[in-house]
Amino acid sequence: MKTNIGLFGGAFDPIHLGHVAVVDSLLHHPEIDEVWVVPTFHPSHRDKATIPFDDRMMLCKEVFHDAPEVHVLSLEKDLPPPSYTLKTLEALKASYSDHEFILCMGEDSARSFHKWYGYEQIMAQHRLFVAQRAEKNTSAYHNDVQVHIEVIDHPMIDISSTESRERIVMKKALDEFLPQAVLDYLDDHPELFH
């Protein structure tokens, strides 16, 4: 019997409590055995991340260090840029043939999934779990994607990395957005957001 892995990727720039909530929802899903968090090495949708890759890796590991069923992988650092989910899945399947990889994402990613490199190939080979922040309505997704989406139970948490970065720059209250490990990191590295 194959181990079902919920694969949750992203820039995590920075990782925030919305990401943590998605992982928690995935861990409570009866068909998920483990969650593998995969920070993007070189995001294909923008020039570069604000926080360096090794620091984003460290923060993800720190945030999930008490969750033995969550693993943080640096895999994309070893793959040719830019980071494409299809290539990551192919590399994982080649290394872990006894695992079933379920691609997991938040609502925002699912809305643009039809623009991803090789998205049709991904849909043909993998299930898609979406942690949706509102009622279970998939009509907001692209036509050929919505029939493949499986919406999972997920609490309403409306946080984005973009808003987190903006709050950091503007020095607004961050406690409700970011885990303590990230807040500590920002205190030690204020130069990243100037």
Contact 59, 15 (CB under 8 A): yes
- 84 belongs to a structural domain: yes
Average pLDDT over residues 125-146: 81
Closest to 152 (Cα-Cα) out of 1, 27, 9, 19: 27
- The answer to the question of residue 165 being in a domain is no
pTM of the predicted protein model: 0.85
The total number of structural domains in the chain stands at 1
Number of H helices, E strands in the chain: 8, 6
Give the DSSP H/E element, type plus range, for residue 26: helix 17-27
- Asked if the structure places residue 29 within a domain, the reply is yes
Residue 140 lies in a domain: yes
Structural domain contains residue 121: yes
90 lies in some domain: yes
Task: Give the tens place of pLDDT for each residue, 92-131.
Answer: 999 999 999 999 998 888 999 999 999 999 999 999 999 8
**Does 176 fall in a domain?**
no
- Residues 190 and 186: their CA atoms lie apart, in Å, by 6
Statement: residue 140 has pLDDT above 60: yes
C-beta separation of 72 from 39 below 8 A? yes
Provide the residue range defining the domain that includes 25.
3-157
- CATH assignment of the domain containing 82: 3.40.50.620
Least confident of 79-83, 105-109, 148-152, 169-173: 169-173
Answer yes or no: is 19 within a domain.
Answer: yes
CA–CA separation, 152 and 6 (whole Å): 12
pLDDT band at 194 (very low <50, low <70, confident <90, very high): low
Please count the other Cβ atoms lying within 10 Å of the Cβ belonging to residue 48. Answer: 11
Q: How does pLDDT run across 158-193, given as a tens digit for each residue? A: 555 555 545 454 455 455 677 888 888 878 887 766
